[in-house]
Structure 1
């Protein structure tokens, strides 16, 4: 067991920053040693709470990434800055955990991959659902062949917060320049990662996208502002070994909370999971001479799964991980997102 103390820098002190800071507190031998945000009030408030010296409270991410006292960085910022921060981390040789999606565009992803190949760094992309007990269990089922040959994967990811009745205000997520795409980048990227995690690479994709509400009120200006990204995305695909896939996502689903459901159909059985019940797996099998049908709900212990940030620390300490989403997982994900966008734009199926 390593007793090294890992000094962590946090870039982005919003809601996702709080989430990662709370999770980091559960990881042994780590401490937040520097913070960074463009909001100086947030920097000072969090800095006081963490009792950080003034010189470790940054407003420029480049200064934090160049800080030799920091062992690795956790970045939770809006999509527009993913490329800049990852590029700076690579240039400084600084290990980094970065939120998904990888970048806004494939051009940004291509450039990061080129830089990474010349100067590789430990990097984890925030596809957090891999670390739910149900995801880990289903991954093992597939690996063990318990479902037989996989023929089809289906998933949907639904929330309700963008429905008209809630009058959701205009934020950066509704702006293409800031976000790259809308619902696809926000939560659809998790569906793409789930398909890659359970099945393999995408070989063909055909997408459709729509914007349900094309103007939203920007409370900063008091004006209605155009929404130039997708509210709805669906796509069908072919994955490795001819596995078929069907997916849809939107935030106009009244009555849903965080409904991310995945079903895998194999020659021997079907398995269903939902992240809203992360410790349950619903398994249906036929077996024996009479092809007896058995249905079961498997209840899992969440303590059996290593937390995501613990896995990153273990990765830095050269311990094995089969789940960790690397920079290549981020890059492949961005390739698929771009293919979906391109296909939706011109109606042509894309090959990857």
Structure 2
């Protein structure tokens, strides 16, 4: 890997939209030796507005101009997945490390191409699966490693969400357009959960599933059922349904061991509940950073500047999540 020849990371942000308002870009200005020096949106007026509101010195309406700005030495791609491959190639051609939003790309093949161009250039590729660095998810990992529930047997994911008609009718909602996103809300939300299970148990060896569109409201799948065999022998399953009634809404991951279980939400809360045979339940509560990607961005900056530690979310790990999602939705695509 090429040495990062700078004492600070100067980010150029491509796609300064909603995710950059609070989740990510503001954290880049809070991490030591890191700052956002330029932002880009195709809408020049919105790019200028974002830059002025966040105190960023430069703004562009053209991605090439931002990528080739000599002040920018690292590129954050916060656009929809259909542009991730192209923009990654351009950033690599300019000799700059890449941090890309999740899902990493529309499909596994695009992920592999992104990995290859970065590896060939000796540049790192990071992906925004920030749950790998959040305290509640790290607590679950430590409980398992400490043997709190004995040997893990299986894990199950449940996501039930009701339809949002106002969002469905919004033509700018790229998250339900497979040509842009690769899939539907499963790709947007389920990717976080599957990536976390990869972090928790290691790579998945076998994955299968079935996907369908039951509502007919948009072209992407709106329900997915999946099964997983991890390389370490743990089994997994999941159901993701985005058309349930309000009373059925649920967000839960449960890990069953031979001496207990762990339950926790992925999106709607931060608590972790430990149930051990013969003992009272333990509930752990956590506070999140103001900017949810702070710890992951901090790990990227630390790795680039060789300040200790490595970023836990790379193109290699993130590509495995895209592969798993493809296996689960193979019958639909």
TM-score w.r.t. the length of structure 2 is: 0.87
Establish whether residue 108 from structure 1 lines up as the match of residue 110 from structure 2. yes
Task: State which structure, 1 or 2, has the greater radius of gyration over its C-alpha atoms.
Answer: 1
Partner Cα distance (2:311, 2:225) in 1? 26
Query: How many pairs are equivalent?
Result: 322
Please show how residues 129-208 of structure 1 align to structure 2 within 5 Å: 129-160=131-162, 162-164=163-165, 168-170=169-171, 171-208=173-210
Matches within 5 A, 1:107-126: 107-126=109-128
Displacement of 1:165 = 8.0
Matched, 1:38 2:42: yes
SS of the residue 1:88 aligns to = helix
- Give the Å deviation of 1:77: 0.8
CA contact (8 A) 1:191 1:247 kept: no
**After superposition, where does 1:310-321 map in structure 2 within 5 Å?**
310-321=298-309
Give the TM-score normalised by the residue count of structure 1: 0.82
Q: Confirm whether residue 240 of structure 1 aligns to residue 193 of structure 2.
A: no
Q: CA deviation at 1:62?
A: 2.3
Pick which of 182-191 and 56-65 moved more.
56-65
Q: Structure 2 regions of 5+ residues with no counterpart?
A: 1-5
Residue 91 of structure 2: SS of its match in structure 1?
helix
Of 250-259 and 201-210, the range deviating more from structure 2 = 250-259
SS of 1:242's equivalent in the other structure is coil
The two structures, once aligned, show a CA RMSD in angstroms of: 2.7
Shift of residue 260, structure 1, vs aligned partner: 3.8
Cα offset for 1:94? 1.1
> In the alignment, which of 228, 252, 260 is matched to residue 219 of structure 2?
228
Distance (Å, rounded) in 1 between the aligned partners of 2:181 and 2:138 = 29
Superposed, 1:267-282 pairs within 5 Å as 267-275=258-266, 276-278=268-270, 280-282=271-273
44, 67, 71: which one pairs with 2:73? 71
Deviation at 1:68, TM superposition (A): 2.3
CA separation of 1:62 and 1:167: change in aligned 2, threshold 3 A: closer
Specify every segment of 5 or more residues in structure 1 that has no aligned partner in the other structure, as ranges: 216-226, 287-291, 347-352
Query: SS at 2:284's partner residue?
Result: strand
